[in-house]
Chain A
Amino acid sequence: MVQLDQLYQEIILDHYKRPHGRGLRDADDSGDQVAEAHHVNPTCGDEVTVRVATDGTVLHDISYDGMGCSISQASASVLHELLRGRNAGEAFEVHEAFVELMSGRGQVTPDEDVLGDGVAFAGVARYPARVKCALLPWMAFKDAAARAGVGVSPEVKA
Chain B
Amino acid sequence: MTSIAIPAGMPQYDDVPRFDVVRVRADFPILSREINGHPLVYLDSANTSHKPRQVLDVLDEHYARHNANVSRSVHTLGTEATEAYEGARAKVAAFINAPSPDEVVFTKNSTEAINIVAYAFSNASLRPDGDPRFRLGPGDEVVISEMEHHSNIVPWQLLCERTGATLRWFPVTDQGRLDESGLDDLVTERTKIVSLVHVSNILGTVNATSRITARVREVGALLLLDCSQSVPHLPMDVVDLDADYIVFTGHKMLGPTGIGVLWGRGELLAAMPPVFGGGSMIETVTMARSTFAAPPARFEAGTPPIAEAVALGAAVDYLNGVGMRAIQWHEKELTAYALDAFATVPDLRIFGPAVPVGRGGTISFALGDVHPHDVGQVLDSLGVQVRVGHHCAKPVCSRFGVPAMTRASFYLYTTTEEIDALVGGLEQVRKVFD
Contact = CB atoms under 8 A, between A and B. Distances in A.
Interface of A: 1, 3-4, 7-8, 13, 43-47, 67-71, 127, 130, 133
Interface in B377-420: 377-378, 381, 388-390, 394, 397, 403-404
Q: In the A-B complex, list the 6 residue pairs whose CB atoms are closest, starting with the nearest.
A: A69-B373, A69-B371, A45-B403, A4-B381, A44-B389, A45-B390
A133 B373 contact: yes
Contacts of B381: 1, 3-4
Contacts of A45: 389-390, 394, 397, 403-404
B403 to A, nearest CB: 4
Contacts, number: 51
Given A4-B381, A69-B371, A69-B374, A44 B432 contact: no
Contact of A130 (B377, B403, B433): B377
Most buried by B among A13, A67, A69: A69
A47 B403 contact: yes
A71 B428 CA distance: 18
B36 A3 contact: yes
Nearest to A4: B381
A45 B390 CA distance: 6
A149 B179 CA distance: 50
A70 B397 CA distance: 19
Contact of B432 (A4, A67, A71, A130): A4
Nearest to A1: B381
Nearest to B369: A67
Contact of A67 (B378, B389, B390, B403): B403
A45 B373 CA distance: 10
Nearest to A42: B390
Contact of B377 (A7, A47, A67): A7
Contacts of A47: 403
From A45, A67, A68, A133, residue with most partner B Cβ within 10 Å: A45
24 contacts: A3-B36, A4-B377, A4-B381, A8-B377, A8-B432, A43-B389, A44-B388, A44-B403, A44-B404, A45-B390, A45-B397, A46-B373, A46-B403, A47-B403, A68-B371, A68-B373, A69-B371, A69-B373, A69-B374, A70-B371, A70-B373, A70-B374, A130-B373, A130-B377
A47 B371 CA distance: 12
A70 B36 CA distance: 21
Nearest to B375: A69
A44 B371 CA distance: 10
Contacts of A67: 403
B373 A13 contact: no
Contacts of B388: 44
A69 B388 CA distance: 11
Nearest to B371: A69
Contacts of B389: 43-45
A44 B390 contact: yes
Contacts of A133: 373
B351 to A, nearest CB: 14
B433 A70 contact: yes
Of residues B374, B394, B428, which shows the largest number of chain A Cβ atoms within 10 Å of its Cβ? B374
A46 B390 CA distance: 10
A141 to B, nearest CB: 20
A127 B403 contact: no
A127 to B, nearest CB: 7
Contacts of A1: 381, 428
A44 B433 CA distance: 19
Given A4-B378, A44-B390, 13 more contacts: A3-B36, A3-B381, A4-B381, A4-B432, A8-B432, A13-B433, A44-B404, A68-B371, A69-B373, A70-B374, A71-B373, A71-B374, A133-B373
